[in-house]
Each structure stands twice: as structure tokens, then as C-alpha cells.
Structure 1
Amino acid sequence: MENQDGPALSEVRDPAGFIESMRRLKQQSGLTYRELEERAAQVGDVLPRSTLADVLRRTTLPPPNLLAAFVRACGHDQHTGTWLSTRRQIAAGLDSLPMDERGPAPSAAVVSEPRTEVIEQTIRASPHRTKRSAFIAGAALGILLTGGLVWWLMDGEDGQNTPASRTPTGGWVTIRSASIPDLCLTDGRDRSGGYSSAVAVQLPCAQAPVPRTYLEPMGEGLHRIQWHHPVEGKGCLTVMSSGAGKGLIEPRENCAQGTLFRLRPTTAGGPEGFQLRPSTGTLCIGLTDDGTTEGAAAREEPCTNSPDQRFLVRASP
């Protein structure tokens, strides 16, 4: 198989040449990063545009599942096996080199060089299944990240939530529905179909081990909510202000532009918890379907005392 204006993929021998071939394939497709992400989502693949852009700027091999999703999104599904085979051969060649000749290590946002066939067997799995498998491959990264954990008294010794007036100071957390504590905010899709990229939804906590949520104190009672994924890297939750996803919450790679949230303790008219209020404006974060169903999306809406606007913020080991 050949790329336009470039050598046959079988002639590529190093990561830099491999990434250059990926760039050519994207150029041939004529698709933007957003369009590639959307096409991947249509067949159940996960291809975050920010992560793909980062991969194509570097000279290190991409993860197999991201590569497969990229090739399929470009319309070359029949050549996916060839791309994976070539990547595997280049990776094997790097393993035979001395450490000082292997080139720069990949960033923490891209987990490269998985060593088991299990990873490649997940390339056609659903988004959440793929992420769970990628999480296994990136377990070491998660262990390292826990070194900065900041704890506070949110959960008593008996496992019950302590008074909501104890505002969290920061650290690894889960953000749960106060009405249905078994449901956590995590990444998913807007069920209305109006917006195809990943957004914040509530799903069973046991089924959503990644991304991990980190609450970053920003001063003056404000927090930035980070998602850490072993493959997609770090993203900061951002309330979208325009377009098809207006009001929904999307993880963005550029945390400097992420939304700052104020966690306001509330007990009036319902269970204890916090209202999540974007620092700009007077609105709150609530859940569609009154927060009573799995997959309900989080979105900006007028503040009320309704249960769907109450969240538990619990320390996570």
C-alpha cells in the first residue's frame, strides 16, 4: 500500500517516517480533526481530536487502538491490519536498540508500546471497553499520579457522607449524583444526538474507572475539574458556550481555557451535597432527565433546589 507523494508503508522503518505516513493519510482524507473524531464515534471508536493532533506533532509511535481508529476514520478500514503490522515491526526494531538510541520518550498523554496482544484485540470494542483495556496498560501511570493525592474529611469512618459544609480542598475525587450515589460523572455521549464528541454524563461508578477526576484548587473558592485518562491524557471540563453542544460539558486539552467551578454546599429541600456553579454567570450544573437515569448528560441550566443539581464530591484513593 502506498501513500500519495510518499513511500510505500512497507518501506517505513522508523517512528518519524510512520508519523509522516499518518500525516499524509490525514491529508489525503481531506478531513479535519473534528470530522475524524466524529467519524470514529459513529462506529464506536474513540479518537479524541486533541490527542490525534498531539500524536501527529510528535515522532513517537501511537497506541494501537488510536492508530486503528484513525485509519478507519480516514476510510482505509481494509488496510488497518497493515498499519498495525508495520507499527509492530517498528516497535520491535526499537526494542533491539540501546536505550540512548531509541529517541525521545512519549509524553504521559500518549501511552505507546503496549506489549500484549490484548490491547490490539480491543480496537473494535466499544469506547468504554477500549478505555478500560487502555487503563490496564496505563496502570503504572495511574499509580504515579496518586502520589500527589490530597485527602479531606468528606467520608466518615462509617462510609456516610459528612456535612456538605466541609468544602473539599482538592485532590482525586469522584463526583456523584446526590440522589443516586452509585452514578458518577464520567465521559460519554449526548443521547440526544445533537453533539457527537465526548461530554460529561452520569454512569454507574463501577463501570467507569477512567478517566480519573482531579479537583484542582484555583484560589478564592474556585476549582478546576480535571479528567486524567491513560491514553487521552489530561482534559479540563469546559462548559460550551456556543454551537450544537451549547451548555454541555466537554473535556478540553487546553486547561487554561477550562471552566472554573465554585462548589456551593446545599441542603435545602433535599439531600446534602454541592451545587457546581461556573465562575462566570449565575447558572448551575444539572442533569438531563432530572438526573434519574444512566447516561443523563450534565449541562448548564438555571439554578434551582432540584436534586439533579446536587452532587457528592468524595475522595478517591
Structure 2
Amino acid sequence: MVVSEGVNPADARTAHEYVALLRELKERSGLTYRQLEQRAAERDEVLARSTLADVLRRDALPRAEVVAALVRACGAERDVPEWLAARERLAAGEGPEAEGTDQGPQSPGRPPKPAGVGRGRTALTATVASLGTVALLAVGATVLFEQDGGKPTGGAAHGEATTNPAVAPGPAAGFSRVRPARAPGLCLTDGEVRADGGGGSKLLAVQRPCAEAVPPRVSLQRADDGLYQILFHHPVHGPGCLTVLGDGAFKGTLEPWTDCRAGGVTQWFRVERADGTDGWRLRSAQDDALCVGVRGGAGEAGAAAVVERCAERGGDDQVFLIGRE
């Protein structure tokens, strides 16, 4: 029995309906985003109001820990298991209209695949559900990603991927280490980043010492047209596609989204060899004039990855070393 009468997550048939019910739960609570953030903090949980606003504005399934923190902050703690069970049902594609979950590598502009077709991650995750806790455990040493028609792709086992000879070669798909060329002892991973001026925090792509960078594990998946998505695989949060944020206090940073289609071109990158180096330049598919770099000093642990104007000068500020684990 759901505490908030009329807001039953079991009624949701799609991710859109699920998020709409979360919005309704928030409205019925009568609490502002700031108040919800404060109530979550009293439980030692992170529910940044900027993150929550983003979650409730989109139609993608939120992360399990965000759902649990929001439901508890709204005063419906006893209903957390029902909300998590409904989320897992939709994420697994159960039901005739499940949508808004990761469905594998589709390039920008392609029509969505039918529900249940080409759902991505083969032999990658096992879902473990308990009251109030959902964990996704990554297994295996390689990843196979399904394309339209259920055909697997993952690039070459070693060296550079050659999925389509009509496009330029790039790094092989699969689990990889992505290291800034100017600080090869650091690896791309996730970390809490605070907004300038104290406007909350987000879990974003940052650089940290490689020994401290796992989890999450990082993987590349490549589409037939040569574009890449960069995924963070976390044992608790599950897989998330790096997405360029377009506005707000975190504009230009990269946030892992559980829905690998919701961001369109903001989740895709053109990976090209940097002239005269062994490294790679990551251009945003949204704008070829924008490249991924790292804000801050070369060796600054925790510095955020950002999309910025591609450097016209030489140097390795926007060059990354990419190699299989």
C-alpha cells in the first residue's frame, strides 16, 4: 500500500509515466527542491536539488539511489521497495510499453528500437534486488553490444576498431582506460563536483589517480558510423553514458546518464588520432568545434572533464591515451 494515496508506482507502464508519478509524489509532499535536499542530507543521503530538477524534467528512469532518496525525503519511506521494484521492472523491459532505458549503441538521428530489441549489454549485468537496495554487478572481461537486428559489435579485439572501412579507424571498443596525455598517472572516472558559488554538487566525469579510479570501469562502444559513447559501469549505480550538460551551473561538464538515448548527440563523440601523438582527441558529435578536456591543473586529482573550444595551438591539453584494460 503506497503511503501517498493515488501515487502507485506499480501503475507505471513506461519510464515517462514513472517519472510523472515521481513528480506527483514530490508535488503532494508540498516540499521544495531545497527542502527535499535538506531532508535527504539529514539521512546522510545526497539529493542535490539541481540533479533532482534534471531527473524530474526528463523521461528517463532515474538511478535507483536517487529514487530511494527522493521517496524517503517525501515521507514515504515504507514505499521505497515498491518504487524500486517498479523501476527494475521497467528497466528490464517488462511490460508492453517499457521505454527510456539503455538500449545499446544507436547513433544520433536513428529511430528508437522497439522495446525489448537490441537492449545492449550481453553477459554484462545481473540485477540483485532487496528491500530498498538495488545493485548492478558487472561481470566478464569483454562487452558485446547489440546493433539493429541483434547483430553484435565491439570492434577489434586488439588495436584499432575497424567496424566499417568507410569511416576512420579509432580505438577498440570494450573496457578501457582513458588517461589525460598531460597526466598519464590519472584516469577518467567519476566524482562529486561542486558548482561554483555553492550551488550543489553532481556526480560527474573527473580525473583521479588510476589506482583509485575503479569503480566505475570505463568502456567505449562504437556505432557503425564511427561515433562512440563512453560508459561508466558502477556496481551500484549501473552503467551510465557520459552526457554533455548544456545549461546551468554545470554547463559543459560530463554526467553519466542511465538512459543512453535521452541525450541524443550530446552522448556521442568522434574519436580521432591527435596529430603526431599516440593519443586521441574526443570531439563532441553535437559540435565539431568542441573537444573534451580537463578543467584545472595537469595533475589535479578530482578536476572535472569538460567540453570546451578545441585548442588551435599544439600541446596535449585535450589529448587522451586510450588503451584496453
Q: Normalization by structure 1: what TM-score? A: 0.59
Structure 2 counterpart of 1:107, which letter? A
Distance 1:38 1:227 in 2: 28
Structure 1 residue 179 displacement after superposition: 2.8
User: What corresponds to 2:229 in structure 1?
Assistant: 224
- Kept in 2, the 8 Å contact 1:272–1:310? The answer is no
Distance 1:232 1:153 in 2: 29
- Kept in 2, the 8 Å contact 1:151–1:171? The answer is no
Secondary structure, in 3 states, of the residue corresponding to 2:183?
A: coil
Cα distance change of structure 1 residues 33 and 261 upon mapping to structure 2, 3 Å threshold: farther
User: What corresponds to 1:201 in structure 2?
Assistant: 206
Cα distance change of structure 1 residues 195 and 240 upon mapping to structure 2, 3 Å threshold: farther
Structure 1 counterpart of 2:129, which letter? E
Matches within 5 A, 1:146-295: 146-148=142-144, 150-154=155-159, 167-193=170-196, 194=199, 196-252=201-257, 253=259, 254-266=262-274, 268=276, 272-279=278-285, 280-295=287-302
Larger Rg: 1
Distance 1:57 1:277 in 2: 27
Structure 2 counterpart of 1:246, which letter? K
Q: Normalization by structure 2: what TM-score? A: 0.58
Structure that is richer in strand per residue: 2
User: What corresponds to 1:45 in structure 2?
Assistant: 46
User: What corresponds to 1:315 in structure 2?
Assistant: 324
Structure 2 counterpart of 1:29, which letter? S
Structure 2 counterpart of 1:237, which letter? L
- Which residues of structure 1 form unaligned runs of 5+? 8-13, 95-103, 121-133, 156-164
Secondary structure, in 3 states, of the residue corresponding to 2:222?
A: strand
User: What corresponds to 1:99 in structure 2?
Assistant: none
Secondary structure, in 3 states, of the residue corresponding to 2:297?
A: helix
User: What corresponds to 1:107 in structure 2?
Assistant: 91
Structure 1 counterpart of 2:283, which letter? R
- Kept in 1, the 8 Å contact 2:253–2:306? The answer is yes
User: What corresponds to 1:126 in structure 2?
Assistant: none
- Kept in 2, the 8 Å contact 1:150–1:172? The answer is no
Structure 1 residue 292 displacement after superposition: 1.7
Structure 1 residue 313 displacement after superposition: 1.2
> CA deviation digits over 1:259-282, x for unaligned, max 9?
3212222255xx631111113231
Distance 1:267 1:38 in 2: 49
User: What corresponds to 2:123 in structure 1?
Assistant: none
- Cα RMSD between the aligned structures? 4.9
- Which residues of structure 2 form unaligned runs of 5+? 12-17, 93-100, 102-125, 145-153, 161-167
Cα distance change of structure 1 residues 34 and 278 upon mapping to structure 2, 3 Å threshold: farther
Structure 1 residue 294 displacement after superposition: 0.9
Distance 2:268 2:38 in 1: 27
Matches within 5 A, 1:95-134: 107-108=91-92, 111-114=127-130
Structure 1 residue 220 displacement after superposition: 4.2
Distance 1:265 1:182 in 2: 20
Distance 2:264 2:21 in 1: 32
Structure 1 residue 251 displacement after superposition: 2.5
> CA deviation digits over 1:96-129, x for unaligned, max 9?
xxxxxxxx956357945248xxx97xxxxxxxxx
Distance 1:38 1:225 in 2: 32
Cα distance change of structure 1 residues 297 and 16 upon mapping to structure 2, 3 Å threshold: same
- Kept in 1, the 8 Å contact 2:192–2:202? The answer is yes
Calculate percent identity across the aligned residue pairs.
35
- Kept in 1, the 8 Å contact 2:159–2:172? The answer is no
Cα distance change of structure 1 residues 222 and 230 upon mapping to structure 2, 3 Å threshold: same
User: What corresponds to 1:129 in structure 2?
Assistant: none
Structure that is richer in helix per residue: 1
Distance 2:178 2:282 in 1: 10
Structure 2 counterpart of 1:299, which letter? V
